[in-house]
Structure 1
Amino acid sequence: MTLIEEFLMPGGGTSINTLPKVSLHDHLDGGLRPQSIIELADSIGFVLPTTDADALGEWFADQSNAGSLVEYLKTFDVTTAVMQTREGLSRVAREFVEDLADDGVIYGEIRWAPEQHLARGLTLNEVVEAVQDGIEAGIENVEKSGRSIRIGQLITAMRHANRSLEIAELAVRYRFDGVVGFDIAGAEAGFPAGTHRAAFDLLAREFMPVTVHAGEADGLDSIRGALFDGRALRLGHGVRLAEDVTIERQDDDNTFVTLGPVAQWVRDRELTLELSPSSNLQTGAVAAWGEELFDHPFDLLYQLGFKVTVNTDNRLMSDTTLTQELALLSDAFGYDLGDLETFQLNAAHAAFLPLEDREELVEAIETGFGEA
């Protein structure tokens, strides 16, 4: 797994690595270092496919290229297995923050599902506190190196389970101790957001920001549920919103389209799409449009004025970084620094932070790109 690799913009040679970035959709259990997995597995007697770090990183990437979200999710059985102790959770969270900073991220939201980390006797409160301890240690290490980063937890409920109300209560309980929002994740098809209406009602009463995985492994009905039942401010992936965009005709200079009601609503309300290009290819989320990055409807949505953001989803499984995702998109669609800045500004405006803090993020991004 390549944690630090320099990517340059075509022509000008500006390093994408050093540009200030905002990461909105990044799973804690999808961003472990292979060597850390090996060491943590050894400490608890968990058997891995291999104990060579490079080979293990390749194993995760190979297993994740199944073209199915269900198959893709099976790799998390390994990562969550080594995240069942205070030490494991704190270490993974600390290293996660350090790796984000090495990728040029100045603000990141880390999403993870506390209910998946109770196998060795920890309570929900204890796992949240362990992760927060690791986050704070990571921030401290980043600051020692002369850089800065801010991190918020997105507490996630598993949509195929029945603990969402309890997890929503957990998120509210820790909203001033590191938690900035709520999410539901896991197998999407067959598990609509409406199943978790009680949790979303609680979150709405408490004015807790919500993002919902939708439009990845399921289509427009799932997105409708995220908007109606979840009151989502952002769509986790949301790539299949493009199913509600009809291309009427094209000529050499223009593409004429019609937006369906769901797409029209999302665009007109400037609801943010947390797109993850490499992951979307791996899970088959964009199979209706093709198998290459150039086929991804990212550019279509961007050109139509949707609030698109760029994310990694799971850095280990996709063997990627936010820098790499931006470089891949730049290569596929010819984006320049102005486009990349727009993606970061979109993310900054959509962060689950107070307005004043978002304005500071915007200023930091504009300054960083202005100096590039």
Structure 2
Amino acid sequence: METTRDHIRRAPKVLLHDHLDGGLRPQTVLELADQVGYLDKLPAGDAESLGTWFREAADSGSLVRYLETFAHTCAVMQTRDALVRVARDCAEDLAADGVVYAEVRYAPEQHLERGLTLDEVVEAVNEGFRQGEAAAREKGQRIKVQALLTAMRHAARSLEIAELANRFRDHGVAGFDIAGAEAGNPPTRHLDAFEYLARENNHFTIHAGEAFGLPSIWEALQICGADRLGHGVRIIDDITAKPDGTVELGRLAAYVRDKRIPLEMCPTSNLQTGAASSYAEHPIGLLRRLHFRVTVNTDNRLMSGTSMTQEFEHLVDAFGYSLDDLQWFTVNAMKSAFLPFEQRLAFINDVIKPGYAGLKAEWLFN
């Protein structure tokens, strides 16, 4: 069965790893910059050129350089109205791309420059998501968006952000994350935050195994107790290909697979940061064959110039995936979402499986 772009666009999708400040519309960046007097600091003055600049600046092969692009987006996300608008745009854009459930992460500590409190930041983003969901419903699109609150791994506010995430638990916030440059900033620096969340029976994921290797993954899982791995692409370093075509899993890779630990993989972003050299050589192909709990994600839609449809398209082109494969990735993601069990099951049985079944039936009868 040939999987077409139209099939992929209309297929229900689940997104677990998407950064709010990495997904702005270029036009929104321009308009918000104009409102706060930041327009002359942007590297381009029209939406098309600005979008191109973000993609090219991020396409450097360096995670550190990739992260520098966020200075411009964060600069225009410092007021309540701006946060509401960006979150609303995000929900609408994801719904238009066929995403039915999304967990979108952001660092509240990066949006305090114009006097907002941490709680006010979360309230504004939550309001924007609800507005975006409502706007999508008016267009006949279904989406549920929840937030993951991120602490910056080079800073010292992780416990405060973890407490914030717990305070807004069941009120639009699904869990916690740490992000930023991995090298020199191990997750164990934030152990008090993870221990707090564990005591509160709350969910958290950790960026690990992207720019840094197996020790980062091991610490995230065995010391910090992460529920999921943000990226986790370097788990491939613990898998050895043998001359006869078989593979041997090291103990950490075997543990990750046996425990069904979700890997939040972001193919295009991984190419940009040098974690993979091409789509065809991305570890996701082997990890899918070995039945790891792999999920597909966008990471930063602006910087990567991508969407869930495009991520799936790249994998279809690279590995010949069918709708069955895309459904497998999507069900994996829904199983791994920070939602109560019955809600995850309802999404799988009432939205995802019927959506893919309809596309397959349509293909057969055409």
TM over 0.5: yes
Report the AA paired with residue 180 of structure 2.
G
Query: What runs of 5+ residues in structure 2 fail to find an aligned partner?
Result: 360-366
Report the AA paired with residue 338 of structure 1.
D
Q: Aligned ranges for residues 71-220 of structure 1 at < 5 Å? A: 71-220=65-214
Establish whether residue 365 from structure 1 lines up as the match of residue 359 from structure 2. no
Q: Is the 8 A contact 1:171 1:181 kept in 2?
A: yes
- Aligned partners of 1:82 and 1:115: how far apart in 2? 14
Q: Is the 8 A contact 1:101 1:149 kept in 2?
A: yes
User: By how many angstroms is 1:41 displaced?
Assistant: 0.3
Establish whether residue 15 from structure 1 lines up as the match of residue 25 from structure 2. no
Q: Is the 8 A contact 1:112 1:154 kept in 2?
A: yes
Question: For residues 206-262 of structure 1, what are the alpha-carbon distances to aligned partners after superposition, in whole Å with 9 as ceiling and x for unaligned?
Answer: 011111000001000000111023211110000000000011223xxxx31111111
Report the AA paired with residue 141 of structure 1.
A
Flag the structure with higher helix content: 2
User: By how many angstroms is 1:56 displaced?
Assistant: 0.3
Query: What runs of 5+ residues in structure 1 fail to find an aligned partner?
Result: 1-8
Report the AA paired with residue 307 of structure 1.
R
Question: For residues 163-184 of structure 1, what are the alpha-carbon distances to aligned partners after superposition, in whole Å with 9 as ceiling and x for unaligned?
Answer: 0000000000000210011100
User: By how many angstroms is 1:10 displaced?
Assistant: 3.4
Q: Aligned ranges for residues 1-372 of structure 1 at < 5 Å? A: 10=2, 15-46=7-38, 47-250=41-244, 255-286=245-276, 291-363=277-349, 364-372=351-359
- Aligned partners of 1:305 and 1:13: how far apart in 2? 25
User: By how many angstroms is 1:274 displaced?
Assistant: 0.4
- Aligned partners of 1:170 and 1:24: how far apart in 2? 20
Question: For residues 59-82 of structure 1, what are the alpha-carbon distances to aligned partners after superposition, in whole Å with 9 as ceiling and x for unaligned?
Answer: 000000110100000000000000
- Aligned partners of 2:322 and 2:136: how far apart in 1? 29
- Aligned partners of 2:167 and 2:33: how far apart in 1? 31
- Aligned partners of 1:176 and 1:355: how far apart in 2? 14
Report the AA paired with residue 358 of structure 2.
E
**What secondary structure, in the 3-state scheme, does the structure 1 residue paired with 2:8 have?**
coil
TM (normalized to structure 1)? 0.94
Q: Measured at CA, do residues 39 and 212 of structure 1 come closer, stay the same or move farther in structure 2, by a change above 3 Å?
A: same
Which deviates more from structure 2 when the two are superposed, residues 232-241 or residues 144-153? 144-153
Structure 2 counterpart of 1:6: none
Q: Is the 8 A contact 1:84 1:120 kept in 2?
A: yes
Q: Is the 8 A contact 1:200 1:229 kept in 2?
A: no
Report the AA paired with residue 27 of structure 2.
Q
Q: Measured at CA, do residues 88 and 265 of structure 1 come closer, stay the same or move farther in structure 2, by a change above 3 Å?
A: same
RMSD: 1.1
Report the AA paired with residue 367 of structure 1.
P
Q: Is the 8 A contact 2:263 2:295 kept in 1?
A: yes
**What secondary structure, in the 3-state scheme, does the structure 1 residue paired with 2:302 have?**
coil
**What secondary structure, in the 3-state scheme, does the structure 2 residue paired with 1:316 have?**
helix
Report the AA paired with residue 312 of structure 1.
T
- Aligned partners of 2:50 and 2:175: how far apart in 1? 32
Q: Measured at CA, do residues 39 and 190 of structure 1 come closer, stay the same or move farther in structure 2, by a change above 3 Å?
A: same
**What secondary structure, in the 3-state scheme, does the structure 1 residue paired with 2:356 have?**
helix
User: By how many angstroms is 1:143 displaced?
Assistant: 1.1
- Aligned partners of 1:247 and 1:303: how far apart in 2? 13
- Aligned partners of 1:113 and 1:262: how far apart in 2? 30
**What secondary structure, in the 3-state scheme, does the structure 2 residue paired with 1:330 have?**
helix
User: By how many angstroms is 1:295 displaced?
Assistant: 1.1
Q: Measured at CA, do residues 50 and 263 of structure 1 come closer, stay the same or move farther in structure 2, by a change above 3 Å?
A: same
User: By how many angstroms is 1:11 displaced?
Assistant: 6.0
- Aligned partners of 1:160 and 1:12: how far apart in 2? 42
Structure 1 runs, 4 residues or longer, greater than 3 Å off: 9-14
Q: Measured at CA, do residues 212 and 12 of structure 1 come closer, stay the same or move farther in structure 2, by a change above 3 Å?
A: closer
TM (normalized to structure 2)? 0.96
User: By how many angstroms is 1:112 displaced?
Assistant: 0.5
Structure 1 counterpart of 2:362: none
**What secondary structure, in the 3-state scheme, does the structure 2 residue paired with 1:94 have?**
helix
User: By how many angstroms is 1:136 displaced?
Assistant: 0.7
Q: Percent identity, please.
A: 56
- Aligned partners of 2:358 and 2:334: how far apart in 1? 18
